[in-house]
């Protein structure tokens, strides 16, 4: 009898913790800091950003994720970091 109560208490605790975990968005992705729209094509954008980082060693550019499947819904997530006196400004 006591073991059944312990098992049901553990199960209830597990369900509550799982519910709190998913409803609090602990595992969600943070939204971008700023969103921009680029009217050129994707190759031009990437090429321009790579040229910029090649010309200035204080700028670091890296693609973190891509979304979508075609030109209308395709998107990039990327970071641009700017260094000033060996400090990251981001």
The total number of structural domains that make up the chain: 1
Parent domain of 54: 2-88
**Quick one: tokens of 7?**
């098992």
pLDDT at site 8: 84
Reduced to 3 states, what is the DSSP secondary structure of residue 24?
coil
CB 24 within 8 A of CB 18: no
Q: Which of 72, 76, 43, 83 is nearest to 62 (CA)?
A: 76
Segment 11-46, tens digit of pLDDT: 888 888 888 877 776 656 666 677 777 787 778 888
């Amino acid at each position: 009898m006591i073991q059944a109560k312990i098992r049901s208490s553990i199960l209830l605790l597990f369900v509550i913790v799982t519910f709190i975990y998913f409803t609090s968005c602990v595992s969600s992705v943070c939204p971008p800091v700023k969103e921009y729209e680029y009217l050129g094509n994707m190759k031009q954008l990437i090429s321009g950003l790579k040229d910029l980082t090649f010309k200035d060693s204080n700028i670091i550019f890296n693609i973190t994720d891509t979304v979508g499947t075609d030109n209308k819904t395709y998107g990039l997530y990327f970071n641009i970091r700017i260094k000033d006196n060996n400090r990251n400004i981001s």
